[in-house]
Amino acid sequence: MAERAMTLAEQILSHAAGHPVQAGDLVIVEIDRCMSHDSLTPEVIDALQGTLNTERVYDPSRVAVMIDHVAPAASVATADAQVRVRRWVREQGIPHFYDVGAGVCHQVMIEERLVAPGQIAFGTDSHATAYGAVGAFGTGVGSRDMALTLASGRNWLRVPETVRVQVNGRFRPGVSPKDLSLYLCGLLGLDGADYQAVEFHGLDWLDLDGRETICSMTTELGAKAGMVPPTGPAVADLDVPEWLGVQPGATYAREIVVDLDSLEPQVSVPYSVDNVVPVTDVGEVPVDLVFVGTCTNGRLGDLRAAAEILRGKHIAPHVRLLVIPASHRILTAATADGTLSTLLDAGATVGTPGCGPCIGRHMGVIGAGEVCLSTANRNFRGRMGSPDGRVYLASPETAAASALAGRIVPATTR
Amino acid sequence: MATVWVFGDDVDTDQIVPGRYAPYMKSESELGKFPFIEARPEFAREVQPGDVIVAGRNFGCGSSREYAPRALFIAGVGAIVAPSFARIFFRNALNLGLPLVQADLRGRVVDRQPVDLDLARPGLRVNGEWLALPAQPEWLRLAWAEGGIIQYYARHGRLPVEATS
């Protein structure tokens, strides 16, 4: 049977729909995995119990709940909300619950193998696109969408067109997956892939950490899903369904080629993620806070890359270096292999695994006039605290080099 | 009378409701006071039920936070008209019953101009001029008519898409 070649997104949604679908179709499909975090779960519970009048979630075994957005609680209001979430999780018999300190939801989902190749996963968080690192169709939804999915086990989706990114070459020293993501943001803009999926080709060699970074960052292009085909050593131990894989001749909305051999360190300048320049063009920007962490760049490879640059040195006077490992497992591994002590010796301080100050709620928010160089994913005005603070986004390598220099510099010229 | 509020491209959810103003951080009852509280405080103070937002491309980009469209919904915003919307914001608004209409009215309306919104025809009357909006798919009109997809589902036990397919 001569079947039309499909993109990864079309394959996964066709499999779920039970018939071949193509970009533009509306489908109603079972949602294999649901992740909900502390920030939106109270509203999910409200919608389930109030509007939908649903006593029990459809299938607790598909559900994971995480406390990461304000972890540990920073106020009585957030503590009370977390009490309610924990009680609800117990009442519903939800087996996958990760409390304060376990880590950022997306990291935990992938680390704990709660999401698998070929699955459709919804998360109450826009960076759920990260699940594409293991070849899943991960996408962010709001609290009512999550409530509807928890009540019925399914939801509707428009099958997205796909942007194909062909990546050639290898990162040079001091350049890493975040630079690829920021470069794409600058090239395509905040809506460069709105309603679309992004598929990365030529990255068979890339480790899981890097795949998570680039898949999570596709949401900054407006993407519905970001995926690296699940092939290569990084995913060798995962169970990839036989029907899932790159099909030559699939129809793509757009094709982009990036040559890593000539990619320079990139930085996103406030107040927009797509306001990207090579670090060497950013000018003289002194920094107050350097933040290494989040679902974008708080993984072991990120911490090690920063530690390599900081080893035996000390951060500049008047600079604060905040490191927040993306998970408990990462914190444990970074402790065991000496990464953490290298960072501490260089003058870093370490926070509880979780989202940290990324959303401007606690654990290192910035004040008026302060400049933060962050390895996170957004620098909109007010994102990390004061609307008069400024957030620059870059890789862990650039962050470490900048903490040493006291101003934004690439790691390549140290 | 309702008025038009004009915004540019890429209005992000951190502008609409900063994470620090989420119901999780403050109280649910205050949410209606928070839309654009820092980015455009006069909006938060003066927005009236039935007001219309006319914006540029990619309205609502960024976070999945449903409290961003919900703050606009609670404040009584009658519709948001923009050439494109960020996808999570679009779904959230549809679930809430906040009408989003894909059209480019930039240059056709002036900020703070009086407006009459008629979603049934659909269109806007501004300064005596009728600005037609594109007709919406049946399933989307069903969702709006019943106060959003969630309300629709609660009543009918199926999605609006299933009613029309």
pLDDT tens across A279-338, in order? 999 999 999 999 999 999 999 999 999 999 999 999 999 999 999 999 999 999 999 999
Q: How many CB atoms lie within 10 A of CB A259?
A: 10
**Which domain CATH number covers A186?**
3.40.1060.10
DSSP string, chain B: --BEEE--S--BHHHHS-GGGSTTTS-GGGGGG-TTTTT-HHHHHH--TT-EEE--SSBTBS---THHHHHHHHTT--EEEES-B-HHHHHHHHHHT--EEE---BTTB-TT-BEEEETTTTEEEETTEEEE-PPPPHHHHHHHHTTSHHHHHHHHSS-HHHHH-
Omega within 30 of 0 (cis) for the link into B122 = yes
Chain B CA closest to residue A123: B64
Q: What is the pLDDT of residue A414?
A: 44
Residue A2 has pLDDT above 80, yes or no: no
Which residues of chain B make contact with A125, given a CB cutoff of 8 A?
A: 63-64
Residues A17 and A115 placed together within one structural domain of the fold: yes
User: Distance between CA atoms of B1 and B12, rounded to whole angstroms?
Assistant: 27
Residue A239 belongs to some domain of the structure: no
Q: Do A361 and B20 touch (CB under 8 A)?
A: yes
State the smallest CA–CA distance between residue A386 and chain B in angstroms.
Answer: 10
Q: Do A42 and B10 touch (CB under 8 A)?
A: no
Which residues of chain B make contact with A275, given a CB cutoff of 8 A?
A: none
Q: How many domains does chain A have?
A: 3
pLDDT mean across residues, chain A = 97
User: Distance between CA atoms of A37 and A40, rounded to whole angstroms?
Assistant: 6
Which residues of chain A make contact with B20, given a CB cutoff of 8 A?
A: 360-361, 365, 382, 385
User: Distance between CA atoms of B54 and A194, rounded to whole angstroms?
Assistant: 19
Apex CA A210: angle with CA A185 and CA B18, to 5°?
Answer: 50
Residue A275 has pLDDT above 60, yes or no: yes
> Residue A158 is inside which H or E element, if any?
strand A154-158
Residue A92 has pLDDT above 90, yes or no: yes
pLDDT band at B28 (very low <50, low <70, confident <90, very high): confident
Of A87, A121, A152, the last residue of a domain is A152
Q: What is the pLDDT of residue B165?
A: 64
User: Distance between CA atoms of B113 and B132, rounded to whole angstroms?
Assistant: 17
- Model pLDDT for residues A175-207, shown as the tens digit of each residue: 999 999 999 999 999 999 999 999 999 999 999
Residue A7 belongs to some domain of the structure: no
State the smallest CA–CA distance between residue A402 and chain B in angstroms.
Answer: 26
- Model pLDDT for residues B36-72, shown as the tens digit of each residue: 999 999 999 999 999 999 999 999 999 999 999 999 9
Q: Do B65 and A39 touch (CB under 8 A)?
A: yes
User: Distance between CA atoms of A234 and A204, rounded to whole angstroms?
Assistant: 8
Residues A176 and A226 placed together within one structural domain of the fold: yes
Q: Do B159 and A28 touch (CB under 8 A)?
A: yes
Who among B14, B27, B61 is closest to A381 (CB)?
B14
Q: Are A31 and A153 in contact (CB under 8 A)?
A: yes
Q: Are B133 and B81 in contact (CB under 8 A)?
A: yes
Residues A75 and A189 placed together within one structural domain of the fold: no
Q: Name A385's bridge partners.
A: A366
Contacts of A386 (CB under 8 A, 6+ apart): A365, A366, A367, A368, A369, A370
Q: What is the pLDDT of residue A187?
A: 98
State the smallest CA–CA distance between residue B141 and chain A in angstroms.
Answer: 16
| DSSP class of A235 | G
Q: What is the pLDDT of residue A3?
A: 78
Residue B141 has pLDDT above 60, yes or no: yes
Residue A412 has pLDDT above 80, yes or no: no
Q: What is the pLDDT of residue A163?
A: 98
Who among B15, B24, B148 is closest to A39 (CB)?
B24
Residue A164 — φ and ψ, nearest 5°?
A: -100, 125
Who among B64, B148, B159 is closest to A141 (CB)?
B64
Strands A348-350, A320-324: parallel, antiparallel or unpaired by DSSP? parallel
By the CB < 8 Å criterion, does A58 face chain B? no
- Give percent of chain A with pLDDT exceeding 70: 99
Residue A413 has pLDDT above 70, yes or no: no
In B6-45, the residues whose Cβ lies within 8 Å of chain A are 10, 12, 14-15, 18-20, 22-27, 38-39
Q: What is the pLDDT of residue A189?
A: 97
Domain B4-115 has CATH 1.10.3720.10: no
CB pairs under 8 A between A and B: 139
Apex CA B10: angle with CA A133 and CA B96, to 5°?
Answer: 80
Provide the 3-class DSSP secondary structure of residue A315: coil
Which residues of chain A make contact with B100, given a CB cutoff of 8 A?
A: none
Q: Do B150 and A47 touch (CB under 8 A)?
A: yes
By the CB < 8 Å criterion, does A194 face chain B? yes
Residue A375 belongs to some domain of the structure: yes
Residues A257 and A271 placed together within one structural domain of the fold: no
Provide the 3-class DSSP secondary structure of residue A372: strand
By the CB < 8 Å criterion, does B151 face chain A? yes
- Model pLDDT for residues B110-123, shown as the tens digit of each residue: 999 999 999 988 99
Residues A221 and A308 placed together within one structural domain of the fold: no
Q: What is the pLDDT of residue A219?
A: 97
Buried-exposed string A159-193: b where 16+ CB fall within 10 A, e elsewhere: bbbbbbbebeeebeebbbbbbbbbbbbbebbbbbb
Residues A397 and A305 placed together within one structural domain of the fold: yes
Half-sphere exposure of residue A107: CA atoms within 13 angstroms, side-chain side: 30
Residues A187 and A276 placed together within one structural domain of the fold: no
Q: Which of A19, A80, A145, A365 to mutate to test the interface with B (most CBs of B within 10 A)?
A: A145
Alpha-carbon torsion angle B81, B126, B141, A126, nearest 10: 10
In the predicted model, what is the mean pLDDT of residues B135-147?
89
Which residues of chain A make contact with B143, given a CB cutoff of 8 A?
A: none
In the predicted model, what is the mean pLDDT of residues A17-21?
97
Q: What is the pLDDT of residue A353?
A: 98
Determine the structural domain holding residue A381 and report its residue range: 266-413
Strand order in the sheet with B115-118: B115-118, B123-126, B129-132
Residue A1 has pLDDT above 80, yes or no: no
Residue A157 belongs to some domain of the structure: no
Q: Are A143 and A127 in contact (CB under 8 A)?
A: no
Phi-psi region at A233: left, alpha or beta (left = phi > 0; alpha = psi -120 to 50): alpha
Residue A240 belongs to some domain of the structure: no
Who among B10, B64, B154 is closest to A52 (CB)?
B154
User: Distance between CA atoms of B48 and B46, rounded to whole angstroms?
Assistant: 6
Which is it for the CA torsion A271, A273, A274, A278, positive or negative?
positive
Nearest alpha-carbon partner for A397 in A178, A206, A170: A178
Residues A114 and A167 placed together within one structural domain of the fold: no
> Residue A168 is inside which H or E element, if any?
strand A162-168
By the CB < 8 Å criterion, does A387 face chain B? yes
Chain A CA closest to residue B21: A361
Residues A46 and A135 placed together within one structural domain of the fold: yes
Apex CA A402: angle with CA A397 and CA A406, to 5°?
Answer: 165
- Model pLDDT for residues B97-108, shown as the tens digit of each residue: 999 999 999 999
Who among A78, A194, A382 is closest to B38 (CB)?
A382
Of A152, A186, A206, the last residue of a domain is A152
Q: How many CB atoms lie within 10 A of CB B42?
A: 10
Residue B144 has pLDDT above 60, yes or no: yes
Please, what's the largest Cα pairwise distance for chain A? Answer: 68
Q: Are A325 and A103 in contact (CB under 8 A)?
A: yes
